[in-house]
Amino acid sequence: MGTHKDLIAYKKAFDVAMRIFEITKQFPKEEKYSLIDQIRRSSRAVCINIAEAYRKRIYPAHFIAKISDADMESTETQTWLDFALSCNYLNKQDYEHCMQQMLEIGRLLYHMQMYPEKYQPKTVNLK
């Protein structure tokens, strides 16, 4: 394993965060300091927490805690997507694409939480 950027969950989270960034450019200006900022922050936080978890992977409890934080941010993003759809700021196709991606990221994060040992660095025996 090279870097956190090699993790499928990170790649998918980064892609959906960038898509959300592009989509929210079209949201009403009055949402600038509420929905837009919140959905951008939470979607980006998924990536940030995955990156931090990767750096903590030698410590399973820390790794799991950071992955749990990423999952929490993913769920928050899904809720903001629900609001954006209900407010008619987001079309159904973009909503469904982003939600599908977030659900898949959630499954990947669940796997990472359940099997942290699969993400630990390989130790080198120096004897």
Please give the C-alpha separations between residue 78 and each of 75, 103, 120, 121, in angstroms, as whole numbers: 5, 9, 29, 31
Q: Is the pTM of this model over 0.85?
A: yes
pLDDT of residue 122: 77
Structure tokens at 71: 């999952």
Which H or E run contains 98? helix 92-114
pLDDT of residue 123: 67
Domain regions of the chain by residue span: 4-115
pLDDT of residue 121: 85
Q: Looking at the structure, give the CATH architecture of the domain made up of residues 4-115.
A: Up-down Bundle (1.20)
Please, what sign has the CA dihedral across residues 116, 119, 120, 122? positive
Would you write out the chain's pLDDT as a tens digit for each of its 127 residues?
A: 589 999 999 999 999 999 999 999 999 999 998 999 999 999 999 999 999 999 999 999 999 999 999 999 999 999 999 999 999 999 999 999 999 999 999 999 999 999 999 998 876 444 5
pLDDT of residue 126: 44
Place of tokens 């931090």: 52
pLDDT of residue 44: 98
- Alpha-carbon distance of 115 to 57, in angstroms, equals 11
Place of tokens 């982003």: 98
